[in-house]
Structure 1
Amino acid sequence: MPETETAPAPLVLLPEAAAAEVYFAPLALALSSYISPQGIALVRDAFVFGANAHLGQSRQSGEPYISHPLAVAEILAGLHMDEATLVAAILHDVIEDTAVAREEIVLRFGEEVARLVDGVSKLTQIRFKSKAEAQAANFRKMMMAMVEDVRVILIKLADRLHNMRTLGVMRPDKRRRIARETLDIYTPIASRLGLNSLRHELEDMGFAALYPTRYRVLTEAVRKARGNRREVVAGIEDRFMQRFAEEGLRVMIDAREKRPYSIYRKMQQKQLSFKEVFDVFAVRVVVQTVDECYRALGIVHNLYKPLPGRFKDYIAIPKANGYQSLHTILFGPHGIPLEVQLRTHEMHQFAESGIAAHWLYKSSHDQGTVTQARAREWLRDLLEIQQKAGNPQEFLESVKVDLFPDEVYVFTPMGEIIELPRRATVVDFAYAIHTDVGNHSVACKIDRRFAPLSTILENGQTIEIITASGAEPNPNWLSFVVTAKARANIRSFLKNLQEAEAIKLGHRLLSKALEGESSSIETLPPERLQRLLAEYHHDSLSELLREIGLGNRMAPLVARLLVADTPSQGADDRGVASTVAPIIISGTEGLVVDFAKCCHPIPGDSVTGFLSTGRGIVVHRRDCSNAADAGVHPERWLAVTWAAVPSGEYQALIAVHAKNVRGGLARIAASVAETGADIDDVRFDDRDVNLTIITIALRVKDRVHLARVMRRIKQIPDVVKVVRP
């Protein structure tokens, strides 16, 4: 306990809370095996403090509320967690559900315990727009606390495990919601941290609550299969023991059934029937050393033939959470498929307890393990994702993507193994190497051959990334990257880029609007500008310009407020001052100028602009049906015109009415290519047996270029007409 000027009064269990003593006894018994009497006394103080704080509160089952935090502490005692974790587990709901303040916990139990309790507590003081936003914000708070101290998530997982064990008293809709959240978020986190003993129980209880009928049917199928195969599996165990003894190997053998949720997921993911799931039954062989793992593998392969293509070496290449083992599937007696897992005692301990093994086995494993290293690496990635995420919901989405890795292993040119989720692309690989490598990627080589950056990677490939100092992330990358790290970094870069572009566009828009008011940004009285910034709750002019550039504020309205208290005269029918010069569009404005997909404007077309909230300017052709509705939001429409020499290529649509003849599309495509245009998309609409309308999306430089393409297509004998929709 920290030193204070005035020591807090001794803790005494209130008479009304005395009945809760019965719930402390199992925890005290569990602690007696590894914690000192002084430590148990500290945990008991936490029990007394918590029981008094929760006095009068009950769970839906009718039990005193303190029974829940004590059960959470008992689960953590099974992992041999330290006193601070156990005290925090007992107090994990007091800040959230009672009148106890954080300062009182600091005074009684120290800053370390208070920090753990605070990390698990929800954000109850902040009002959120929706339940989803609140859940995302609470999740981000918990995960960030976990980055600082992994014990936060261990307390939360134990809390969720006890809640799942007592889920039966909840309403069916609440049961399903909690079960879905458990399967979506908490079991993947347990898996990532290697806490398989907790994960398996959470998965099966979540499965039973979310899909009770499926759980019942699958459990019954396993029960029937067990009756047919138990004797066979027992016979295989005996043969293993006999052969291992002959070879001089001391082993521990454990036969098990695959858990219902694991079978269900395999059936779902691989579209298998129950009979096609090979590893419903498995034998775990635990040996002394890594060398004996491979010797034991040879022995079991000599006893029973292995199933080709089903051997996995997770010792040489561990899973994302550090799990290590050899997996093989054998053809057992009577053709019964049997999974065999071979691992050392240390691998087995960490397979069950994961990162918690640091406390469970710390006396002999102080140097850390693969599991711990992988967990720390994931926590570092979480911190980077959090820093780049725009809001809590984006962070939650990114982490959810990152929690379901079905691994693929590829190599750097130097032979380093990089582990990525299934369907990861070259861009994901680049960001896994380093953020700067991802941001500056321009090309790649896969097994020494050039390949697109969007290529989906396969096991065993060697990837070389080619970078350029001036290169930047492409917005299109977001359509194919799968890792949270890549997605967060690309979004962060684009968001910063968009803000810079939005400020430039906002400056142009406000300057044009002020010209119509015979003023300029430079000549505005500073006090008037500051008054408007205060009214809009902006800290700087740049913030106001960004809002204008993103279409969240109207430049003409801002200009009028800046120069006078009343609107200027001479506004046109769209609410824009008639003397305001049009905005010049060059085609290089990037993220804050977009071209409408309804009419596909190109240089040379007569155009108008619409200020779309959060997107900037959307350019339409003046004859577009959407532009004809300008009266609906006249203040959002503004005059735009093309630069004298616009740059880049623009998408245009043409409709080709052609006869149904063999090779017609090929001739049209060849004609387009001859004019230097590129085809993006082709759609067919058969009007009748003889005539087809082919809608082609192509990229051209301007209206003159498009006219040349259309004339060339019209020269094809089978083409009836070419029009622009």
Structure 2
Amino acid sequence: MQNLFNKLIKHSKDPQFMEEVFEFAKNAYGDKKRSTGEEYIEHAVNVAVILSDMGLDATTVAAGLLHDTANQNISESRNAVLYDIEKKFGQDIANIVSKNAELNKIYYFFNRNANEAVFLQKEKVENARKMLLAIAGDLRVIIIELAARIDGLQKLSSLPQERQRIYALETLEIFVPIANRLGLGEIKRKLEDPTFEFLFPEKFAWLQEHLEEKYEERAKYLKKFIPKFKRILSHEKIKFSDINYRAKSYWSTYQKLERHAMNFEKLHDLVAMRVIVKDVAACYRVLGIIHKHFQPISGQIQDYIAKPKENGYKSLHTTVFLEPGKISEIQIKTEEMHREAEYGICAHWAYKEKLQLQKDIAHLAWSKEVPDFFKDFKIDFFENQIFTFTPKGDVIALPKGSTPIDFAYALHSEIGDHCESAKIGGKIIPLSQSLTNGDVVEIITSEKKKPSYDWLKFVKTSIARSHIRKLTSAIITPIFSVPSFVKSKIFGVPKKPEPAAPIRKPKEVYLAGQKGMMVNFAKCCSPQPEDSIQAYLTRQHAAMVHKTSCKFFQETSRKFPEKIIDASWHQS
């Protein structure tokens, strides 16, 4: 570990700052160990080194060192740790660490869906990916989590047996697609091949056996061919930064083989040659020179510069006969495109002093849905959505500001129609409360319960509004009314007798803003209408109403604050 940390210090622009962060992290983690048996501080240093190797800034690397310090299995007081981090290293780092701790919410989905069948349900998995991004809210949080995954995969065999497979599935189904969407090609490779080997050992062994010779054969040929190609470019007066080759990852190769009926002859990019030049104009000139000297295969030219992939990838691809029987794909890109292909958006952070990002932003989006996040690292393309859990771990996507009533109707109309109350973390909440990302919502129903017209004041979804309107009748008042004495004189309608004075009905107790809940009144203080009251949830889940001035209640609320519910009197 010390050697790795020395490497981190060596590459840091501010070694003293990084040493201070390390000392803080070492004290915070203590000798606590991860489920793999590895000490937390060792894992944190590994993550920081991965981030440093990606060329990320000191803030992100420091947050990588601290990323687990606010987790509940490290610190009993998350707020106290975050306060200390903010005081010592600034709000930005504290916010990243805080968000990394919140990402633990997504593991509710993993733990509840720990079987392969769920990971084959595309909609569920896609919602889990969206939830991960929405909770993170900051791209640096995602990058740190991906780096932590890379380190975690290296210790996969040290995890408990039942956890190994689900960890690999999480990586392949959740984190690899996110890395791909962010254009993190190198990170994607480091995540997908170890998980492919673990999840499908027989397929991996078969592919490795059949590819090893092909990889070696093609790499050996390209190594001999590159000097010849360099002479051609020099003769044509083309300046280039580098010419190299790169083997395709095993997982990507296998997926492509499946699309081509497992025919290796259809794969021309097992080992692709890459030509790196100074600017875009040179890319197109090189393409023309390649086609001048080597016969291209019809239909195998892709212009990803004019029309980039959704993850922002840019390059020119062409497949040519380098000589009879020798087919190879050649990729042509600028230095900037090459950096982006390896480390996606991270390339811009690493080179932000050299790039005028504000001018280039319009050209750097990685997906049709993604806005100009390069300005502030913020993930806000789900800012109008929230992602919540059912107790079984299903992800329910809702508009921002949605309430338990919206959640209930999203599950089923019958559940919404008979929704009596709702809980988050076992605690009853008002039905009008806005839900947040990662909430685990439990809906309690009753056959006697019917939709309330008041629900229309706070529900957000159209499906909830539609059902509530259907089952509640609006009170329609006439535009004007005829006084009774006029009716008596003109129409002979007898005058109605004066109504008796209204009888005041007794007041009932509302719990968390909801009526109709079962309550008992404490004998120790005998609360009466107009008394200030609160309620305590007993073991039988019935609410015991006390005066707030009751000494017994005050003592109980100090011991069990999570069992206290707001209560109030209302005229019935």
TM-score normalized by the length of structure 2: 0.63
Q: Distance in 2 between matches of 1:239 and 1:322?
A: 32
Q: 1:328 to 1:392 in 2, by over 3 A?
A: farther
CA contact 1:282–1:339 (8 Å) conserved in 2: yes
Provide the residue aligned with 2:334 in structure 1: 344
What is the DSSP-based 3-state SS (H/G/I as helix, E as strand, rest coil) of the residue aligned with 1:391? strand
Q: Structure 1's 527 and 80: CA in aligned 2 closer, same or farther, altered over 3 A?
A: farther
User: How far apart, in 2, do the equivalents of 1:68 and 1:335 lie?
Assistant: 48
Q: Classify 1:527/1:500 alpha carbon distance in 2 versus 1 (closer, same or farther; 3 Å).
A: farther
Q: How far apart are the structure 2 equivalents of 1:310 and 1:525?
A: 84
Greater Cα shift, 322-331 or 375-384: 375-384
- 1:108 is aligned to 2:108: no
> What secondary structure is seen at the aligned counterpart in 2 of 1:75?
helix
Aligned to 2:388: 391
For the Cα contact (< 8 Å) 2:131–2:387, is it kept in 1? no
Deviation at 1:378, TM superposition (A): 4.1
Deviation at 1:510, TM superposition (A): 12
Partner Cα distance (2:339, 2:236) in 1: 25
Structure 2 Cα separation of the partners of residues 333 and 397 of structure 1 = 56
2: CA distance, partners of 1:126 / 1:180:
14
Deviation at 1:115, TM superposition (A): 0.7
Question: Paired residue for 1:291?
Answer: 281
What corresponds to 1:98 in structure 2? 74
Name whichever of 46-55 and 494-503 sits farther off: 494-503
Report if aligned partners of 1:140, 1:392 keep a CA contact under 8 Å in 2: no
CA RMSD of aligned residues (A): 3.7
- The alignment status of 1:501 with 2:481, answered yes or no, reads no
Higher relative CO (CA 8 A, sep ≥ 6), structure 1 or 2? 2
How many residues are aligned here?
407
**TM alignment of 1:168-317, pairs within 5 A:** 168-251=157-240, 252-317=242-307
CA distances 1:483-542 after superposition (whole Å, capped 9, x unpaired): xxxxxxxxxxx972222221222214999xxxxxxxxxxx9988779869734469xxxx
Match of 2:487 in 1: none
Match of 1:680 in 2: none
Q: Identify which of 65, 71, 79 aligns with 2:46.
A: 71
Aligned CA distance change for structure 1 residues 524 and 72 (closer, same or farther; 3 Å): farther
Q: Deviations over 1:598-657 (max 9, x none)?
A: xxxxxxxxxxxxxxxxxxxxxxxxxxxxxxxxxxxxxxxxxxxxxxxxxxxxxxxxxxxx
Cα deviation, 1:138-163, whole Å, max 9, x if unaligned, reads 9666523543x321111111111111
Contact 1:279 1:337 in 2 (8 A): no
State the distance in 2 between where 1:107 and 1:65 align.
23
Counterpart CA distance in 2 for 1:262 and 1:130 is 24
In structure 2, what is the Cα distance between the partners aligned to 1:127 and 1:299? 52
Q: Which of the residues 362, 365, 369 maps onto 1:374? A: 365
1:388 and 1:537 map into 2 onto residues whose CA distance is 31
> Could you tell me which residue of structure 1 aligns to residue 496 of structure 2?
none
Contact 2:64 2:144 (C-alpha < 8 Å) held by counterparts: yes
The answer (yes or no) to whether the contact 1:194–1:323 under 8 Å persists in 2 is: yes
**8 Å CA contact 1:215, 1:260 repeated in 2:** yes
Note if contact 1:358-1:366 (Cα within 8 Å) is conserved in structure 2: no
Give the deviation of 1:315 after TM superposition.
0.5
The partner residue of 2:13 within 11, 35, 54 is: 35
> Counterpart in 2 of 1:18?
none
Q: Is the alpha carbon distance of 1:537 and 1:206 closer, same or farther for their aligned partners in structure 2, counting shifts above 3 Å? A: farther
Q: CA deviation at 1:263?
A: 0.5
- 1:366, CA displacement in angstroms? 3.4
1:391 alignment partner AA? T
Judge conservation of contact 1:139–1:396 (CA < 8 Å) in 2: no
- Over 3 Å counting, the alpha-carbon distance change for 1:363 and 1:270 in structure 2 is same
Give 1:199's aligned amino acid: K
Distance between the aligned counterparts of 1:61 and 1:113, measured in 2? 27
Deviation at 1:24, TM superposition (A): 4.0
Equivalent position SS for 1:66:
helix
Distance change >3 Å, CA 531–CA 273, structure 1 → 2: same
**CA gap 1:312/1:384 in 2 versus in 1, 3 angstroms:** same
Q: Secondary structure at the match of 1:285?
A: strand
Residue 274 of structure 1, CA deviation: 2.8
Q: Which amino acid aligns with 1:161?
A: I
> Cα–Cα, structure 1 residues 333 and 371, in superposed 2: closer, same or farther, change >3 Å?
farther
The answer to whether the 8 Å contact 1:310/1:329 transfers is yes
Alignment equivalent of 2:64, drawn from 89, 113, 125: 89
Relative to structure 1, is the Cα distance of residues 385 and 537 closer, same or farther in structure 2, using a 3 angstrom cutoff?
farther
SS of the equivalent of 1:316 reads coil
Letter in 1 for 2:91: E
* Cα deviation, residue 285, structure 1: 0.7
Amino acid at match of 1:373: L
Describe the SS at the equivalent of 2:11. coil
Q: Structure 1 residues 124 and 327 mapped into 2: Cα distance closer, same or farther (>3 Å)?
A: closer
1:577-588 equivalence runs, <5 A:
none
Corresponding residue of 2:526 = none
Query: Match for residue 355 of structure 2?
Result: 365
Residues of 2 paired with 1:203 and 1:346: CA distance?
25
* Contact 2:171–2:191 (8 Å) recurs in 1: yes
Residue 158 (1) aligns with residue 147 (2): yes
Distance 2:162 2:394 in 1: 26
> What stretches of structure 2 of length at least 5 have no aligned partner?
115-123, 373-378, 399-458, 477-501, 519-572
1:44 paired to 2:33: no
Structure 1: distance between partners of 2:318 and 2:326: 14
How far 1:240 sits from its partner (Å)? 1.4
Q: Please say if residues 106 and 131 of structure 2, whose CA atoms lie closer than 8 Å, have aligned partners that are also in contact.
A: no
Deviations 1:520-572 (A, max 9, x none): xxx9988779869734469xxxxxxxxxxxxxxxxxxxxxxxxxxxxxxxxxx
Deviation of 1:256 after TM superposition, in Å, equals: 2.2
Over 3 Å counting, the alpha-carbon distance change for 1:260 and 1:123 in structure 2 is closer
Counterpart Cα distance in 2 of 1:269 and 1:300: 28
Q: Deviations over 1:318-340 (max 9, x none)?
A: 11122110011112324232110
Residue identity matched to 1:503: I
Structure 1 residues 269, 222: CA separation in 2 closer, same or farther (over 3 Å shift)? same
Residue matched to 1:404: none
**Post-superposition offset of 1:169:** 1.8
Q: How far does the alpha carbon of each residue in 1:369-419 deviate from its partner, in whole angstroms, 9 at most, with x for none?
A: 4697314864449745452456358996889xxxxxxxxxxxxxxxxxxxx
Q: 1:527 to 1:253 in 2, by over 3 A?
A: farther
In structure 1, the gaps of 5 or more residues are: 1-22, 400-493, 512-522, 539-725
Mapped to 2, the partners of 1:126 and 1:275 lie a distance apart of 42
